[in-house]
């Protein structure tokens, strides 16, 4: 069918194809009324791009003039529909190739006075931002920020939207809230699902099982502390990308993020616990190698790591990062203090490296290597219930000491 269009002037051809796609989209959702926009000449959408990953994805479309838009959510399959004032889509289709949370992106005209974009999603999502901003150079840009959400929240959005007005854009959930009186801790069991992590030297027990068993114990122990509420980023043997782990922590307003691991090393005699905090520059070669290996997790499961979540260069964000960093270091020091004389530690037990999973700009985060599955003695301890209970109690003590100090300092 497209073959027949060859020979037409390029712009007319693009419009024709776009209209056909638009009609298909309209057929698929025929029961849905389109938003009414004032009749006008189509605005040229001259550029578009998609960035982000399977936890947060941003779409940006550049227009010659300021477009009006209305957002709706649709079910079966789950989609976000953006109705626009009359638009002509003049950018190459490849620029909006689906990625991240979106598995299909379509767009086209809807008659003479409106256009529509349809984003089919991989999993329930919500828009945390949808606005038109002025470009420095040319025209305006429509920015849509989507974030992963739960089935329940998606259903709530569906039910609460009014088809005569734009659906609500839910503000992004933001970080530490000690003020609510509850100190929330995200306990992150490393690996899971297709990503088994390391495996035990003797028993071959996968790291993903060791971390989940300990995570459950630690969350239980933390929940016994007055004023502390812990939750697990994953409760089963399921795969979560690194960005999803961080996003879940942010959405649940975590005040602290603890990622649990038990990796292997080529030097099998090395044993003991290590506490890592984030740094662009690794403290040593071992830390650097471990972080590089952990960061491969997304690739293992077939996720691309060529671009992280959309981020804004921002002085405030930099300040937040620095403050968060100081808190992370304070927590790491507390854990080391708790462990000293009680739990085996490696030399220089507080180390730094560039772990993707520690990158939340506003949640103090540490990664605890409880021990090494490559070392038979460590492996025995990691599988020992008594040892795990003792370590969980010591980590909970460290968290509680840290919390008391942060509350005393006003947050």
The site for Zn ion (CB under 5 A) is made up of 190, 197, 261, 263
Question: CB of 356: closest distance to Zn ion in angstroms?
Answer: 12
Return left, alpha or beta for 317; rule: phi > 0 is left, psi -120 to 50 is alpha, else beta. Answer: alpha
Residue 39, classed as helix, strand or coil, is coil
Strands 183-189 and 256-261: parallel
Which is nearest to 74 in space by CA: 106, 38, 36, 111? Answer: 106
Q: Residue 352 is encoded by which pair of tokens?
A: 């730094």
Q: Which letter does DSSP use for residue 124 in this model?
A: -
Integer CA distances (angstroms), 393 to 39, 229, 239, 387, 400, in order: 67, 15, 27, 10, 10
Q: Which residues, at least 6 apart from 57, have a Cβ–Cβ distance to it below 8 Å?
A: 50, 51, 99, 100, 101, 102, 125, 145, 146, 310
Question: CB of 246: closest distance to Zn ion in angstroms?
Answer: 16
User: Which CB, 54 or 263, lies closer to Zn ion?
Assistant: 263
Integer CA distances (angstroms), 219 to 165, 232, 233, 359, in order: 42, 7, 11, 21
User: Which CB, 139 or 190, lies closer to Zn ion?
Assistant: 190
Show the CA angle centred on residue 104, arms to residues 102 and 109, nearest 5°: 120
Question: CB of 211: closest distance to Zn ion in angstroms?
Answer: 7
User: Which CB, 291 or 363, lies closer to Zn ion?
Assistant: 291
Question: CB of 291: closest distance to Zn ion in angstroms?
Answer: 10
Question: CB of 260: closest distance to Zn ion in angstroms?
Answer: 8
Question: CB of 200: closest distance to Zn ion in angstroms?
Answer: 13
User: Which CB, 188 or 263, lies closer to Zn ion?
Assistant: 263
CB atoms within 10 A of CB 76: 5
Question: CB of 263: closest distance to Zn ion in angstroms?
Answer: 5
User: Which CB, 28 or 196, lies closer to Zn ion?
Assistant: 196
CB-based contact 373:198 (threshold 8 Å)? yes
Integer CA distances (angstroms), 200 to 204, 344, 377, 378, 384, in order: 4, 18, 10, 9, 13
Q: Which letter does DSSP use for residue 271 in this model?
A: -
Question: CB of 62: closest distance to Zn ion in angstroms?
Answer: 41
Strands 273-278 and 345-353: parallel
User: Which CB, 263 or 400, lies closer to Zn ion?
Assistant: 263
User: Which CB, 190 or 206, lies closer to Zn ion?
Assistant: 190
Q: Tell me how far apart the 2 most distant CA atoms of the chain are, in Å.
A: 80
Alpha helix locations (H) across 104-206? 151-160
Question: CB of 363: closest distance to Zn ion in angstroms?
Answer: 20
User: Which CB, 61 or 186, lies closer to Zn ion?
Assistant: 186
| Site of tokens 């795969």 | 239
User: Which CB, 83 or 207, lies closer to Zn ion?
Assistant: 207
Question: CB of 315: closest distance to Zn ion in angstroms?
Answer: 34
Go through the chain and tell me how many residues it has: 411
Position closest to Zn ion via CB: 261
User: Which CB, 247 or 274, lies closer to Zn ion?
Assistant: 274
């Amino acid at each position: 069918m497209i073959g027949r269009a060859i020979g037409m002037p390029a712009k007319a051809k693009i419009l024709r194809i776009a209209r056909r796609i638009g009609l298909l989209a309209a057929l698929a959702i025929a029961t849905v009324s389109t938003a009414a926009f004032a009749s006008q000449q189509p605005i040229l959408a001259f550029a578009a791009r998609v960035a982000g990953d399977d936890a947060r994805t941003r779409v940006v479309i550049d227009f010659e003039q300021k477009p009006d838009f209305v957002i709706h959510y649709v079910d079966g399959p789950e989609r976000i529909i953006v109705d626009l004032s009359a638009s002509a889509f003049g950018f190459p289709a490849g620029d909006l190739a689906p990625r991240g949370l979106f598995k299909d992106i379509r767009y086209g005209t809807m008659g003479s006075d409106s256009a529509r974009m349809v984003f089919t999603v991989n999993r329930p999502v919500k828009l945390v931002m949808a606005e038109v901003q002025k470009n420095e150079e040319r025209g305006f840009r429509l920015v849509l920020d989507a974030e992963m959400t739960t089935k329940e929240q998606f259903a709530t959005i569906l039910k609460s939207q009014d088809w005569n007005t734009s659906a609500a854009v839910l503000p992004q959930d933001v970080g530490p809230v000690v003020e609510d009186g509850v100190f929330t801790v995200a306990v992150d069991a490393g690996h899971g699902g297709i990503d088994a992590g390391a495996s035990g030297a003797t028993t071959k027990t996968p790291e993903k099982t060791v971390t989940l068993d300990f995570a459950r114990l630690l969350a239980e122990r933390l929940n016994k502390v007055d004023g502390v509420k812990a939750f697990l980023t994953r409760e089963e043997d399921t795969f979560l990308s690194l960005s999803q782990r961080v996003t879940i922590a942010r959405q649940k307003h975590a005040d602290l993020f603890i990622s649990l691991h038990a990796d292997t090393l080529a030097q099998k005699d090395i044993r003991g616990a290590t506490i890592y905090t984030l740094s662009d520059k690794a403290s040593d070669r071992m830390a650097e190698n471990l972080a590089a290996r952990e960061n491969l997790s997304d690739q293992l499961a077939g996720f691309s790591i060529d671009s992280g979540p959309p981020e804004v260069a921002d002085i405030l964000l930099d300040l937040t990062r620095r403050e968060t960093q100081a808190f992370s270091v304070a927590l790491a020091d507390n854990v080391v203090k708790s462990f000293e004389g009680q739990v085996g530690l490696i030399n220089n037990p507080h180390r730094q490296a560039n772990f993707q999973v520690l990158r939340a700009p506003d949640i103090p985060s540490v990664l605890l290597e409880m021990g090494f599955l490559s070392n038979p003695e460590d492996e025995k301890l990691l599988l020992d219930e008594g040892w795990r209970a003792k370590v969980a109690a010591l980590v909970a003590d460290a968290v509680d000491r840290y919390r008391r100090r942060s509350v005393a300092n006003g947050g």
